[in-house]
Amino acid sequence: MPEKSDGNQMRLPSVVWGMAANGGVMDTSWMAKGKCRNEPPARFFPSDGVGVELARRICATCPVKEPCLEYALAQRVDHGVWGGASERERRRILKRRRAAAAVPTTR
């Protein structure tokens, strides 16, 4: 996922460090391989459902879709399409994961 910018060129950070859920540092080297790296950043910060769908189509064949989504979930990124998921979809994923983690196991 590109950094959001006001220009038309995507600004991909060479390395972005994020904290992992376990307190460690997340590997963000995958960012340099994203299909979005040559796309206008605004495409991944859409204002409507049509824009979300256009971004998701690019993400669908991205080789780093999975780490991108996990990064956005771990960092609680609340804007833009990451890993093919909109803000709303990421909230749903997190909610499902919390619910699954809260279910007691049977013995």
Among 10, 26, 45, 84, binds ligand SF4 (CB under 6 A): 84
Residue 95 φ/ψ, nearest 5 degrees: -65, -45
Nearer to ligand SF4, 61 or 106 (CB): 61
**CA atoms in the 13 A half-sphere facing the CB of 30:** 18
Could you give the string, one character per residue 19-38, with x where binding to ligand SF4 holds by CB under 6 A and - elsewhere? ---------------xxx--
Contact between 82 and ligand SF4 (CB under 6 A)? Answer: yes
Residue closer to ligand SF4 (CB basis): 66 or 95? 66
Q: Indicate whether 44 belongs to the interface with ligand SF4 (CB under 6 A).
A: yes
Q: Which residues contact 57 (CB under 8 A, 6 or more apart)?
A: none
CA 58 vs CA 53, 85, 93: distances in Å: 9, 11, 20
Residues in the chain: 107
Chain residues in the site for ligand SF4 (CB under 6 A): 1, 34-36, 44, 58-59, 62, 64-65, 68, 82-84
